Amino acid sequence: MTGIGEIFANPSFRVTVLRIATLLLLGTLGVLLCERAGILNLGIEGIMLAGALAGWLAA
């Protein structure tokens, strides 16, 4: 059990979690903005996936 605690206490783990979660939070904020405007956007995951693929292809 100490191995898991060491992983969670590692600063690089926290940085990685913030780096990955930022993209999901930005997508969530976009959906929230659409919902507040009265538009139901069910395809946000596909849009994020297409954007990631386009970014990978462009790089």
Number of separate domains in the chain: 1
- Write the pLDDT tens digit of every residue in 22-35: 888 888 888 888 88
Tokens found for residue 3: 């191995």
What DSSP element (H or E) covers 50?
A: helix 44-58
- Rounded distance between C-alpha atoms, residue 25 and residue 44, angstroms: 12
The domain of 15 spans 2-58
Is residue 31 within 8 Å of 44, Cβ to Cβ? yes
Grade residue 45 by pLDDT with cuts at 50, 70 and 90.
Answer: confident
Rounded-to-integer distance, Cα 15 and Cα 21, Å: 10
* pLDDT band (50, 70, 90) for residue 1: low
pTM: 0.57
- The answer to whether the CB of 15 falls within 8 A of the CB of 5 is no
